[in-house]
A and B are shown apart, each in its own frame.
Chain A
Amino acid sequence: MTGVQLRDLGIRYGNVEVLKGIDLDIPASEFIVLLGPSGCGKSTLLNAIAGLQDVAEGQILIGGHDMTSVEPKNRGIAMVFQSYALYPRMSVRGNLSFGLKVAKVAKAEIERRVANVAKMLQIEPLLDRKPSELSGGQRQRVAIGRAVVRDAGVFLFDEPLSNLDAQLRSDLRVEIKRLHQRLKSTMIYVTHDQIEAMTLADRIVVMKDRIIQQQGTPDEIYNKPANTFVARFVGSPAMNFLEGVVKGDKAIVDGEAVRIASALSAPLVDGRKVIVGIRPEDLTVQTDQAASGFAAEVDVVEPMGPEKLVWCKRGTIGLSAKTPSSSKVKSGDSIRLGLSEDRLHIFDAETGRRL
Chain B
Amino acid sequence: MTTANAPAPVRRNALAAPLSRVLVYVLLIAAAIVALVPLYVMIVTAFKSMEEIRTGTLLSLPHAFSFEHWWKAWNSACTGLRCEGLKVGFVNSFLITIPSVVLAIAAGAITGYALSFWRVRFANVLFTVMLIGGFFPYQVLIYPLVRITSTIGIFNSLVGVIAIHVVFALPVVTLLFRNYFASIPIDLFKAARVDGAGYWRFFFSILLPMSVPMIAVAGILQVTFIWNDYIVGLVFGGINYAPMTVQLNNIVHSTYGEREYNVEMAATLLTSVIPLLVYFTSGRWFVRGVASGAVKG
Contacts and interface: CB of A to CB of B under 8 A. Distances in A.
B201 A132 contact: no
B187 A85 contact: yes
Interface in B190-232: 190-197, 201, 205-206, 209-210
Given A73-B196, A79-B191, A89 B210 contact: yes
Contacts, number: 89
Contacts of B194: 50, 52, 72-73, 77-79, 99, 150
Interface stretch (B148-156, B158-166, B170-178, B288-296): B288-296
A50 B196 contact: no
B185 interface: yes
A154 to B, nearest CB: 11
A84 B291 CA distance: 13
Interface residues of A, number: 34
B9 interface: no
Contact of A103 (B185, B196, B209, B290): B196
A89 B297 contact: no
A88 B196 contact: no
A133 interface: yes
B195 A132 contact: no
A166 interface: no
A88 B212 CA distance: 12
Interface in A135-153: 136, 139, 146, 150
B195 A99 contact: yes
A132 B292 contact: yes
B278 interface: no
B83 interface: no
Contacts of B193: 51-52, 71-73
A84 B210 contact: no
Nearest to A130: B293
B188 interface: yes
A79 B192 CA distance: 10
Nearest to A133: B293
Nearest to A156: B194
Interface in B248-297: 290-297
B297 to A, nearest CB: 5
Interface in A79-102: 79, 81-90, 98-99, 102
Contacts of A98: 192, 195, 197, 205
Interface residues of B, number: 24
A88 B185 contact: no
B5 to A, nearest CB: 34
Contacts of A146: 191, 195
Nearest to A102: B196
A163 interface: yes
A89 B209 CA distance: 6
Nearest to A73: B196
Given A50-B194, A52-B194, A84 B206 contact: no
Contacts of B205: 87, 98
Nearest to A54: B119
A134 B293 contact: yes
A81 B293 contact: no
Given A50-B190, A89-B210, A102 B195 contact: yes
Contacts of B191: 79, 81, 85-87, 146
B190 A102 contact: no
A47 interface: yes
A22 B267 CA distance: 74
A51 B194 CA distance: 8
B296 A83 contact: yes
Contact of A83 (B185, B201, B292): B185
Interface in B109-152: none
A131 interface: yes
A73 B188 CA distance: 15
A83 B196 contact: no
Contacts of A103: 196
Nearest to B297: A136
B293 A83 contact: no
A163 B295 CA distance: 11
Contact of B295 (A51, A77, A79, A88): A88
A84 B187 CA distance: 8
Given A52-B190, A87-B294, A88-B188, 4 more contacts: A81-B190, A87-B192, A102-B197, A102-B201
20 contacts: A73-B195, A79-B194, A81-B187, A81-B191, A83-B295, A85-B188, A85-B191, A85-B295, A86-B191, A86-B294, A86-B295, A87-B188, A87-B191, A87-B205, A87-B294, A99-B196, A102-B196, A131-B293, A136-B297, A146-B191
Interface of A: 47, 50-52, 71-73, 77-79, 81-90, 98-99, 102-103, 130-134, 136, 139, 146, 150, 163
